[in-house]
């Protein structure tokens, strides 16, 4: 298993380009299952989850012309001519829960889907009951056995529905399934994350009729078939947020090219409360300043609130801020695993239920730490950048799932970080 070794205490400076959003690209790749024509996605991030989704689609007989090129020119072409196995097997689902995004498009296009039930994961139980209830509302028959969900429907029928709670991939599954259903679907209490309107833009380019994506009420009028399309994936707001914190925590000065500030309002506002200056510039988003930073409480919320996917990175920053901050996690029930690792580096954090109380600033010192999930591992890299001495972050594969060449990017900005292959 690969590890990252970081010699902390270096100020980061320079320019880096933010890649396409993993969490937009994943549902957009799954959307190729809705048509027999070619779907081309550009600005694809070169991260492990994208490769896993490509393997999942290949398992179903989708022709995948592998990613080529870098940055904006990184692209994939997908053609789901005939789907031979409408199935997401356990070994792929267990490495990537987003495999559940195949469910909606498969049942809509082929009338059948079999998807392994994702188990719990490091950050929480993460059931898929809302995805299944929504498909039932659309007329699918759902059966679960031997750890698999089977969904069957001769043809899905549009329906009105309200999500019991907001779910991002659940909203995406409904949009994709309803795009090929008979009649109109209205989804209330839909997720509003920027990845949702981005998926809608692709689906509309494929011929779907969707209104309201990006609001909590989405109306989808089913069409008999969809066609191929080309689409450029939005920039990754969480990667951008992570590098904003990297700039702040090292007292550095970074220009993030291609970051979309409109998707980062809550993060930029929170950083401003701490005294971190984030400026829009024609070339992108600049973060700078030398601190000291002020502690500020944060509670995770669905978009447009402060993202749960930034909570761990923000916690790393709070260990270096002056004062006490309370971080409240409202989306996932177990998303503080990074706190105990930061404490091993010298952080002063107390966990009380879904709240973390962080007292700062505490000098961090390098230590061996273990990454438990994607964003936790990013936060430990950030803590390592701020620490004196050597930090070794074990289980680098977590970070490779969602961050494109993080060690190369950080090195180019002046960090001392290397990958140790294990």
CA dist 263 and 335 (Å) reads: 22
The answer to whether the CB of 401 falls within 8 A of the CB of 49 is yes
Considering only residues 100-129, where is the footprint of ligand EPU by CB under 6 A? 124, 126-129
Which listed range, 74-82, 85-93, 162-170, 348-356, lies at the site for ligand EPU (CB under 6 A)? 162-170
> Residue 165 or 280: which CB sits closer to ligand EPU?
165
Selected from 28, 309, 400, 407, the binder of ligand EPU by CB under 6 A is 309
Tokens (6 digits) for 246: 């990297």
DSSP class per residue in 191-232: ---THHHHHHHHHHHTT-EEE-BTBSEEEEE--S----EEEE
CB 168 within 8 A of CB 195: yes
Instruction: Give whichever of 26 and 178 is closer to ligand EPU, judged by the CB atom.
Output: 26
For 9, 31, 111, 225, the CA distances from 172, given in Å and listed in that order, are 41, 9, 18, 18
Q: Name residues contacting ligand EPU, limited to 380-419 (CB under 6 A).
A: 402
As measured in angstroms, the least distance from the Cβ of 323 to ligand EPU is 27
Strands of 8-90, DSSP E:
13-17, 38-42, 63-68, 75-79, 87-88
- What's the rounded Cα separation, in Å, for the pair 364 and 371? 17
Residue whose pair of structure tokens reads 């994350």 in the numeric block: 193
The residue among 398, 391, 286 whose CA lies nearest residue 344 is: 391
Under the binding rule (CB under 6 A), the answer on residue 135 touching ligand EPU is no
Q: CB 309 → ligand EPU: shortest distance, Å?
A: 5
Question: Which residues, numbered 352-381, are part of the site for ligand EPU (CB under 6 A)?
Answer: 374-375
Build a one-symbol-per-residue string for 237-276: x at contacts with ligand EPU by CB under 6 A, - elsewhere: ----------------------------------------
Give the shortest CB-123-to-ligand EPU separation in angstroms. Answer: 7
Choose between 246 and 331: whose C-beta lies nearer to ligand EPU.
331
Q: Among this protein's residues, is 19 annotated catalytic?
A: no
CB of 259 to ligand EPU, least distance (A): 17
Q: Which of 6, 62, 168, 204 binds ligand EPU (CB under 6 A)?
A: 168
Site stretch for ligand EPU (CB under 6 A), options 2-10, 161-169, 223-231, 265-273: 161-169
From 164-172, 210-218, 257-265, 272-280, span contacting ligand EPU (CB under 6 A)? 164-172
The rounded distance, in Å, linking the Cα atoms of 119 and 335 is: 16
> What is the DSSP-derived secondary structure letter of residue 189?
S
Rg from Cα positions in the chain:
21
Which of the residues 184 through 213 are near ligand EPU (CB under 6 A)? none
Q: CB of residue 356 vs ligand EPU: minimum separation in angstroms?
A: 17
Q: Scanning residues 3 to 42, which ones bind ligand EPU (CB under 6 A)?
A: 23, 26
Q: Write down how long the chain is.
A: 422
Residue number with CB closer to ligand EPU (130 or 367): 130
Assess contact for 249 and 316: CB atoms under 8 A. yes
> Phi, psi at residue 104, to the nearest 5°?
-60, -55
d(CA 153, CA 151): 7
Q: Shortest distance, CB of residue 11 to ligand EPU, whole angstroms?
A: 27
Q: Which of 3, 10, 47, 8 is nearest to 29 (CA)?
A: 47
Q: Considering the rule CB under 6 A, would residue 98 count as an interface residue with ligand EPU? A: yes
| By the rule CB under 6 A, 137 interacts with ligand EPU | no
Alpha-carbon distance 210 to 213, whole Å? 7
Active-site hit among 19, 32, 121, 274: 121
Where on the chain is the footprint of ligand EPU (CB under 6 A)? Answer: 23, 26, 97-98, 124, 126-131, 165, 167-170, 308-309, 331-332, 374-375, 402
Residues designated catalytic:
121
């Amino acid at each position: 298993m690969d590890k990252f070794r970081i010699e902390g205490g270096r100020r980061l400076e320079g320019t880096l380009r933010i890649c396409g959003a993993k969490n937009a690209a994943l549902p957009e790749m799954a959307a190729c299952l809705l048509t027999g024509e070619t779907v081309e996605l550009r600005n694809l991030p070169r991260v492990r989850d994208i490769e896993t989704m490509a393997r999942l689609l290949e398992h179903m007989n989708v022709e995948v012309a592998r990613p080529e090129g870098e940055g904006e020119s990184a692209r994939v072409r997908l053609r789901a001519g005939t789907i031979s196995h409408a199935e997401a097997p356990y070994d792929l689902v267990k490495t990537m829960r987003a495999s559940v995004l195949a469910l909606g498009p498969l049942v809509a296009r082929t009338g059948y889907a079999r998807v392994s039930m994702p188990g719990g994961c490091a950050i929480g139980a993460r059931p898929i009951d809302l995805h299944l209830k929504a498909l039932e509302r659309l007329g699918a028959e759902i059966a679960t056995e031997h750890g698999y969900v089977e969904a069957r429907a001769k043809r899905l029928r549009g329906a009105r529905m309200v999500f019991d709670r907001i779910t991002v991939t659940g909203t995406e599954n409904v949009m994709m399934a309803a795009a090929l259903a008979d009649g109109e679907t209205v989804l209330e209490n839909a997720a509003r994350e920027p990845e949702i309107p981005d998926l809608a833009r692709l689906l509309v380019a494929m011929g779907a009729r969707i209104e309201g994506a990006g609001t909590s009420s989405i109306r989808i009028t089913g069409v008999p078939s969809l066609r191929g399309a080309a689409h450029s994936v939005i920039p990754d707001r969480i990667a951008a947020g992570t590098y904003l914190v990297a700039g702040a925590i090292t007292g550095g000065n970074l220009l993030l090219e291609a970051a979309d500030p409109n998707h980062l309002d809550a993060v930029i506002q929170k950083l401003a409360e701490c005294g971190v200056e984030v400026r829009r510039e024609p070339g992108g988003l600049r973060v700078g300043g030398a601190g000291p930073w002020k502690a500020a409480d944060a509670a995770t919320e669905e978009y447009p609130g402060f993202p749960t996917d930034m909570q761990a990175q923000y916690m790393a920053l709070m260990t270096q801020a002056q004062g006490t901050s309370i971080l409240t996690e409202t989306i996932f029930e177990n998303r503080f695993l990074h706190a105990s690792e930061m404490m091993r580096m010298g952080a002063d954090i107390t966990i009380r239920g879904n709240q973390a109380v962080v007292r700062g600033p505490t000098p961090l010192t390098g230590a061996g730490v273990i990454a438990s999930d994607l964003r936790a591992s990013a936060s430990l890299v950030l803590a390592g950048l701020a620490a004196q001495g050597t930090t070794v972050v074990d289980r680098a594969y977590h970070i490779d799932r969602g961050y494109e060449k993080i060690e190369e990017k950080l090195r180019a900005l002046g960090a001392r970080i290397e990958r140790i292959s294990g």
